[in-house]
Chain A
Amino acid sequence: MAVLSPTQPTHRRGGRGASGPRPPRRVGFSQRLGRWDVKLSPYLYISPFFLLFALTGLFPLGYTAFVSLHEWNLLGGQGEFVGLENFSAVLAQPVFWKSLVNTFSIFVFSSIPQVLLAITIAALLDQNLRAATFWRMGVLIPYVVAPVAVSMIFGRLFADQYGLINELLGIVGIDPVGWHSDRIASHVAIASMVNFRWTGYNALIFLAAMQAVPRELYEAAVIDGAGRVRQFFSVTVPQIRATIIFIVITSTIGGLQIFDEVRMFDSTGLGGANRDWMTTVVYLYDVAWGNQKDFGRAAAVAWLLFLLIVLIGMVNFLITRRISTSGPKAPAVSRRHTRRLLAQARAAGGAGTAPPTPAPAPAPTDPTTDREDRR
């Protein structure tokens, strides 16, 4: 860090050496210049971000609160101050509540299977594969397809009549599902679009985290007699817990803002005749730019949704942390924890999946230090 202290320019000049001291004024000037350079540059470098972000990110978010307290519509502009009237009007709308339930339902159908699938795919990729890059690129393909395009395609795949999904279900002997008429079914269809696009992406993030796990831990686990599944739950999962938290939180934020998929799922794009799959963001859009053209109420919706996202994000964070911190802290806890996980896995996946566990393998003593050493 010496480089950043103001004395540096002197040192630099002095370093040149034998010719003796320079005229004091010149040194003083460039020294002062150098000092200002050192002092101001950091602020200069971060200022474009903060200025632009304040203008296009922060100000709108704050101003939303202002708009929400006024009568305000698309054409007429700002009206009079109405206090919390917009909020009470929105909260009195059954459609608003319906959209919240829809959003939450779609979110659950998308995030949980997505994280589980992504971890599984990552575990598959985290092996000594031939053509590893090919497979990794393969799982990322859906990510480059625009959600609107995915939605149009899946809208067709999930068609109520002559849709591929229903035909496939027919082969297995299941009656055709009304993807565009049954509420829960429509949620599953929309969630599957979200999953299609994001599972591979998240799998690669998990893969990156898995590869950062020191291989010695696995070697130690093997010596202790742990099988593949046991290794996964006792070494991999605790080691990538921070990444799991990260993915869960980002998928929450994304999952509560679903818009594109619903807009393209049918031709009106407002969530069906009964608003059975209208999400809250689509509701916001409809209030602001659809029939009502009411910016005041739409702003109130935005704020309510914002609070909800923060709330769910926090709950999410706490739960995920509770679940995963009990891992590597102390070996005793860790063992109990993994045993529980294993029991769950066994219960969920049938008896065959769990490896025979010999003498309880002590968890690797302190994985965190290992990890630090490696860097």
Chain B
Amino acid sequence: MSSVAVTAQTAGKRAARAAAKRRGRGTRSAQRRPGRLTYILLGTVLLISMFPLYFTLLLGSSDPVTIAQEAVPQWLPDASLFQQFATVFESDRINFWKALTNSVIIAVVTAASVVLFSTLAGYSFAKLRFRGRGPLLVFVIATMAVPTQLGVIPLYILMSDLDWIGKLQAVIVPGLVTAFGVFWMTQYLSEALPYELIEAARVDGASMIRTFWSVALPAARPAAAMLGLFTFVQQWTNYFWPSIVLNSENPTLPLVVKSLQANFFVDYSLVMGGIFLVTLPLLVIFVFVGRQLVAGIMAGAVKG
């Protein structure tokens, strides 16, 4: 079990990176570079991936009359786009800034909470022995396949009884833990964290929680980062539950899309400009963390 994660544990980050590089080179050197066709196909995939977003810019730069008559009103966006942005920012019916703040709060809090609780539980399932461990883990895996969204009616009744309708906690609290997160961290830690490290910490006199904090948590970092990112994206783009318990006075960004559609359905260029604004924050984040996201998937041991 000489995974890169273990190298990171025993020899530090730099060595791990070097090891990963060496390994990559070793396995790949036998392979030749792919032909041009591969790049053409991948380029097409990339174009299709980007086009819908680019399309919002094109429609946002145009005007409703042209949009009603042309499939693609123009091929390059222009400065009139900023007028749409200004309208969206200033509109009272849209509440854009409030939605942005709300989305950030919800996504950050749930991501942090899912990561913490999943790592704790995952560490416990992967590395500690206790009565009932097997059945409980099976239970977690089983619930992963159960669509808990189908409990929306009682959940709504609960939120209504707590007087949380229209408040952020109605979205945050149900998102604080996920069965997937626990399963994910269990999988990762059982491979990436050698028992020797835990033993060493215990022999040195560390308490259980100290062992978790100083040994398990650092080892879990790659998978935890990825879990956090995915939770963040999932909450950020979530619409179903927020649309039920929140409203246009206290919206999240996806709810803004609905308000745009409801209030400005005649003005398509405004709607599309707004949609681009709604998508932009996550896109910017993606530019910075996309690499980790992908690397996380690749190193994060998605093996069936």
Contact = CB atoms under 8 A, between A and B. Distances in A.
Given A138-B42, A243-B302, A146 B237 contact: yes
A43 B298 contact: no
A306 interface: yes
Interface string B197-224: 0110011010111001000000000000
A145 B257 CA distance: 12
Given A4-B129, A215-B30, A305 B49 contact: no
Contact of B49 (A139, A302, A309): A139
A302 B70 CA distance: 42
A319 interface: no
A299 B153 contact: yes
Contacts of A325: none
B150 A305 contact: yes
Query: For the side of the interface on A, what is the size category?
Result: 35 or more
B184 interface: no
B148 interface: yes
B159 to A, nearest CB: 10
B303 A52 contact: no
A46 B123 CA distance: 9
B49 A375 contact: no
A162 B68 contact: yes
A257 interface: yes
A45 B279 CA distance: 36
A245 B302 CA distance: 13
B153 A302 contact: yes
A56 B129 CA distance: 27
B154 A67 contact: yes
B182 A49 contact: yes
Interface string A38-59: 1101110110111011001111
Contact of A212 (B1, B34, B117, B303): B303
B151 A61 contact: yes
A328 to B, nearest CB: 13
Contacts of A12: 202-203, 205
A162 B59 contact: no
B86 interface: no
A303 B223 CA distance: 34
B274 to A, nearest CB: 9
A204 B69 CA distance: 39
Interface in A245-279: 245-246, 249, 253, 256-257, 259-260, 263-264, 267
B46 A49 contact: no
Nearest to B210: A37
A312 B152 CA distance: 21
Interface string B270-304: 01100100110011011000110111011010111
A148 B41 CA distance: 28
A124 to B, nearest CB: 6
A313 B33 contact: no
A42 B143 contact: no
Given A133-B291, A139-B49, A154-B52, A46 B275 contact: no
Contacts of B56: 149, 153
Interface in B172-188: 173-174, 176-177, 179, 182
B265 A267 contact: yes
Given A60-B155, A144-B283, A306 B143 contact: no
B227 to A, nearest CB: 13
A242 B240 contact: no
Given A143-B233, A209-B302, 7 more contacts: A46-B182, A56-B176, A67-B153, A140-B286, A146-B278, A156-B268, A167-B72
Interface of A: 1-4, 8, 11-12, 15, 34, 37-39, 41-43, 45-46, 48-50, 52-53, 56-61, 63-64, 66-67, 121, 124-125, 127-130, 133, 135-150, 152-154, 156-157, 162-164, 166-167, 196, 200, 204-205, 207-209, 211-212, 215, 219, 240-246, 249, 253, 256-257, 259-260, 263-264, 267, 281, 284-285, 288-289, 295, 298-299, 302-303, 305-306, 309-310, 313, 375
25 contacts: A15-B203, A42-B130, A46-B121, A46-B124, A58-B143, A64-B151, A64-B153, A121-B45, A133-B291, A139-B45, A140-B286, A141-B50, A141-B283, A144-B285, A147-B237, A152-B275, A153-B56, A157-B52, A164-B55, A196-B52, A204-B297, A263-B239, A263-B258, A267-B265, A302-B151
Nearest 4 pairs of A and B residues by beta carbon: A242-B304, A60-B151, A63-B154, A42-B130
